[in-house]
Amino acid sequence: MHRSLALSALLLLGCATSPYDRAWLARELSSQTGHAPRAEADAASTAPRLPPRVSLGDGLTEEEAAAIALWNNPTFQSDLAKLGFARGDLADAGLLPNPTLSLLFPLGPRQLEAWLAWPIDALWQRPRRVEAARLDVERVARGLVQSGLDVARDARVAHAEVVLAVARARLRAETASATRAIAELTAVRLRTGDVGDPEAAATRVEAGAAMEQAARAGADAAVARARLRQLLGLMDLPDDLAMVTPADETSEPQGATALVATALAARPDVRAAELALEAAGARAGWERSRVFAVALRADGFAPSASANVTEYAGRIGPQLTLPIFNQNQGGVGRAEAEAERAAWRIVAVRQQVITEVTAARAQLAQARAALGPWRADVLPAAEEVVRGATQAFAQGEVSYLVVLDATRRLLDARLREAELLADVRRAAAQLDRSTGGRRATR
């Protein structure tokens, strides 16, 4: 009975687990981004596919882009394997070393001898070793949550880049058409003597530049779509897939102080840095406990008539390694240096979080401050100029060149609106990521 209880206790000592697995990671990312990566059962398949409740039939939204990226992005999926490595290290840390059995067969008058040695120092070293490994598992898991936030942010930014690139290509093409029409009308007026060669040449140059910008904008749109495909892990994403944008724009963000406090409390990389320091402390204690190596040794002797030994005999006792020369100075020194580095890493991460939140909020505030007046004042004024020029042309008061020139300026204003809107979306995605989730602007 006592032997079975002792054996059961030793088996329990060998078990070390952690709640930070793929299921925990999925729940954490789902709570912070609204989307989760593949389940562990689906991770074995590398075939790209759409996550549940995502359909491309009505176009691609930025939220769907984030969900697809977390589900398919190959770099992120490969990083998730780090959690398996850490959990494997934890399992190793919880295991006790196997005993060593030596057997000496008799030669001549000597009897059969055997001895069994078991390093019992692992019993008091195990708690610190397991604690360090368990903290490492949590650190890796929270670091992967931060990686997931980065992937979601990158997907949203890539979606905004495609929206901007498509709008730029369309507006550049319309601008090129308008400038080409201006050049053609100017050429007609040149033949009738209404304008001179310098003015006609200037319009041809402007038309050529507009056509070149239109061609470049089309190529930029193709590049932006290619980058989005790679980020989402869907290389067969159609070229004509519509990019759907939200009906309402980002609301006013919270104050900088509140956002910084939220980020320091919610950012997974801040907690991961703190866990690294805790793990380094546990590892330092483990390294100090390794100064003394103790094993339990049991010897046995078989009976031998030639040696006048007729009964089994045995001995048992400790085997101690004396720390005279080697006191594990290297292991202790490395552990202490790791703890010092981890302490400074916490300071660096906290400062980085404060900088990222402050910069992202400032960029979002500036982009919103520029977009609002542009939509309220500049665009209506440009549209009014086009309406006035069109009415004046219909009444025969101005030439069609005035209408084309006003149209070109309106297209430039709309292009600037698209650029400001992209700035808002990029800054919003960065601010949400900087605060540890979608809680800063939504």
Q: Between 6 and 94, whose confidence is greater? A: 94
203/273 Cα distance (integer angstroms) = 60
The reported pLDDT for the residue numbered 401 is 77
Q: Looking at the predicted structure, is the pLDDT value of residue 190 above 90?
A: no
Give strand pairing partners of 104: 113
Q: Looking at the predicted structure, is the pLDDT value of residue 223 above 90?
A: yes
Number of domains in the chain: 1
Residue 279 lies in a domain: yes
Q: What is the pLDDT of residues 93-110, one digit of tens each?
A: 888 888 888 887 777 666
CB atoms closer than 10 angstroms to residue 239: 9
Helix axis angle for 62-72 and 121-192, nearest 10°, is: 140
Query: In three state form, how does the secondary structure of the chain look?
Result: CHHHHHHHHHHHHCCCCCCCCHHHHHHHHHHHHCCCCCCCCCCCCCCCCCCCCCCCCCCECHHHHHHHHHHHCHHHHHHCHHHHHHHHHHHHHHCCCCCEEEEECCCCCCCCEEEEEECCHHHHHHHHHHHHHHHHHHHHHHHHHHHHHHHHHHHHHHHHHHHHHHHHHHHHHHHHHHHHHHHHHHHHHHHHCCCCHHHHHHHHHHHHHHHHHHHHHHHHHHHHHHHHHHHHCCCCCCCCCCECCCCCCCCCCCCHHHHHHHHHHHCHHHHHHHHHHHHHHHHHHHHHHCCCEEEEEEEEECCECCCCECCCEEEEEEEEECCCCCCCHHHHHHHHHHHHHHHHHHHHHHHHHHHHHHHHHHHHHHHHHHHHHHHHHHHHHHHHHHHHHHHHHHCCCCCHHHHHHHHHHHHHHHHHHHHHHHHHHHHHHHHHHHCCCCCCCC
Mean pLDDT of 289-296: 77
The reported pLDDT for the residue numbered 1 is 43
The reported pLDDT for the residue numbered 175 is 87
The reported pLDDT for the residue numbered 304 is 58
> What is the residue-averaged pLDDT of the chain?
84
Residue 34 lies in a domain: no
Q: Looking at the predicted structure, is the pLDDT value of residue 166 above 90?
A: yes
User: Which structure tokens are listed for 25?
Assistant: 């990671």
The reported pLDDT for the residue numbered 110 is 64
The reported pLDDT for the residue numbered 2 is 45
Mean pLDDT of 395-415: 84
Residue 286 lies in a domain: yes
Q: Among 145-159, 215-229, 235-249, 331-345, which stretch is predicted with the lowest mean pLDDT?
A: 235-249
Nearest Cα to 295, choosing from 320, 325, 330?
320
159/421 Cα distance (integer angstroms) = 12
% of the chain residues with pLDDT over 90: 41
- For residues 2-34, one letter each, b for 16 or more C-beta atoms within 10 angstroms of the residue's C-beta and e for the rest, the string is eeeeeeeeeeebeebebebebebbbebbeebbe
Mean pLDDT of 422-438: 89
Residue 14 lies in a domain: no
Residue 299 lies in a domain: yes
Residue 6 lies in a domain: no
Q: Looking at the predicted structure, is the pLDDT value of residue 6 above 90?
A: no
* Global pTM value: 0.83
User: Which structure tokens are listed for 166?
Assistant: 């498509």
Q: Between 262 and 116, whose confidence is greater? A: 262
Residue 211 lies in a domain: yes
The reported pLDDT for the residue numbered 9 is 45
- 20 Cβ contact partners less than 8 Å away, ≥ 6 residues apart: 83, 137, 138, 140, 141, 142
Q: Between 255 and 287, whose confidence is greater? A: 255
422/419 Cα distance (integer angstroms) = 5
Q: Looking at the predicted structure, is the pLDDT value of residue 249 above 70?
A: no
Mean pLDDT of 319-328: 78
Residue 89 lies in a domain: yes
Are 70 and 35 spatial neighbours (Cβ–Cβ below 8 Å)?
yes
Query: In which domain, by residue range, is 116 found?
Result: 60-434
Confidence of residue 423 (pLDDT cuts 50, 70, 90): very high
Q: Looking at the predicted structure, is the pLDDT value of residue 14 above 70?
A: no
CB atoms closer than 10 angstroms to residue 415: 19
Confidence of residue 306 (pLDDT cuts 50, 70, 90): low
The reported pLDDT for the residue numbered 15 is 63
Q: Looking at the predicted structure, is the pLDDT value of residue 7 above 60?
A: no
Mean pLDDT of 185-193: 78
The reported pLDDT for the residue numbered 437 is 77
Q: What is the pLDDT of residues 272-283, one digit of tens each?
A: 999 999 988 888
% of the chain residues with pLDDT over 70: 89
The reported pLDDT for the residue numbered 403 is 80
Are 364 and 250 spatial neighbours (Cβ–Cβ below 8 Å)?
yes
What is each CA distance from 271 to 138, 146, 372, in whole angstroms?
9, 10, 38
> Any idea what the CATH number is for the domain that residue 397 is in?
1.20.1600.10
Are 112 and 301 spatial neighbours (Cβ–Cβ below 8 Å)?
yes
Mean pLDDT of 232-247: 86
Q: What is the pLDDT of residues 325-356, one digit of tens each?
A: 878 788 888 888 988 999 999 999 999 999 99
